[in-house]
Chain A
Amino acid sequence: MRTVSFSDRRVQKLLNDEFVCTYSDTTGDPSAGASFAHAPDSAPGPCGRGAGRQNVQTMFLTVDNEIFHVASGFLSPDDLLKEIKFAKELFAEMQRKPEPSEKTVADAHRSRLRKMGFSASQIAASDNQLTDMFLGGPNPQDFGMNLPGGGSHFFQNISDQRVLKDNRFMIQNPLATRKQFEQNPQALVGRNKTFFGSHPGMNVLSDKAVDSFNVRRSVRGR
């Protein structure tokens, strides 16, 4: 995301002007997945919305470290812009409304999912391990592949389900603190160990050199 999405000027302007940005390395965290290791200027491989959800999460917090929005996995510049704008508007709404912000956060995410076309029963459904496997598994669309016939629809459904799960997490955990989240990140990213690494096929380095990279594994994944 750093070479594609954070390098987008629209994203940079919005983040630098309207947000305070920070980051943390999840290496060794039980919730972390696994990936190839990419150098800072490695050419990015194709990624679909929400791919590698155990490897990256973009989270939005209040000054009191309360989480009010989250988007897990890879986000294209356009997708990231949408999430940033949603977070900006929601934060402004939280400042304006006199009612408890937990309700504002949950309502905003519920309303967002309804506008996206999800039914009330889909929004209210609970997650399970099978869903986690489904969402963390390989999706041809993550790699820029579109299958003919019903295949595309099936795999588009994976991306949609990833969006559903992120927003549902906020409905169920509005304003969870950063510390609470870090005690159980699996509630968002699932408990299955997944591997996702976009292959820098267009990189200046040969495939042989790429293969010599260490495959990064979390402590539990070893």
Chain B
Amino acid sequence: MAVLSCAGTANAVETASASPRTWSDQAGKHSVRATYLAYSEGIVQLRKADDSELTVPLKALSESDQKYVIEQLRRKSLAKRRSSRRVAVTAKRNAVAKSKEVEVDPDSEVVSVARVAEGESLFGIHWQSSPESIRAAASADEEDLKPIMWFRVLGDLAGFM
């Protein structure tokens, strides 16, 4: 398949959960049977039956293959959201349990849980997620406090939005 190139050392950023399928290019001239592994910055990562890995630009894939990748991303995003909700509920429960023992600062309650990992760089910006890490970073130098930029957005910064 001309448009596909080998990428044996590429690191998978998602765990494969899909089944093998036939992938085609835009013109339908080339195809390969492989399992979807991951997607990042316009590149789709696939694994063939012999365990070798391929990378292919999303643009180069057929329309149905592009749809398939989007569906995989959407499912991943939904799963992350459900997982984050579970984290938030657990955190709130812990906060309630803790409040029976000590008074909890209302501003430190988990109001929302950012889905970007602590200190992760996304779109060139370093993001902090927990109230503790935000406060620590903003007040690291007591003589030179840093302001906080809080981006409220409909959707997942790291996924669909």
Contacts and interface: CB of A to CB of B under 8 A. Distances in A.
A20 B156 contact: no
Contacts, number: 183
Nearest to A83: B149
Contact of A214 (B41, B74, B124, B137): B74
B60 to A, nearest CB: 9
Interface stretch (A35-43, A124-132, A155-163): A35-43
Interface stretch (A22-30, A107-115, A137-145): A22-30
A119 interface: no
Contact of A3 (B74, B123, B138): B123
A18 interface: yes
B150 A24 contact: yes
A61 B148 contact: yes
Interface of A: 1-3, 6-7, 9, 12, 15-16, 18-27, 32-35, 37-41, 54-65, 68, 84, 87-88, 91, 95, 177-179, 182, 185, 204-206, 208-209, 212-214, 216, 218
28 contacts: A1-B151, A3-B123, A12-B124, A16-B125, A18-B147, A20-B147, A21-B125, A22-B127, A23-B116, A23-B127, A24-B114, A25-B81, A25-B153, A32-B154, A37-B161, A39-B160, A40-B41, A57-B153, A58-B150, A59-B149, A59-B150, A63-B135, A63-B139, A84-B149, A185-B152, A204-B58, A209-B63, A216-B154
A79 B71 CA distance: 34
A204 B59 contact: yes
B126 A21 contact: yes
Contacts of A19: 146-149
Interface in B2-54: 41-42
Given A12-B125, A63-B138, A179-B106, A20 B155 contact: no
B149 A41 contact: no
B150 A23 contact: yes
Contacts of A57: 151-153
Contacts of B115: 25
A21 B127 contact: yes
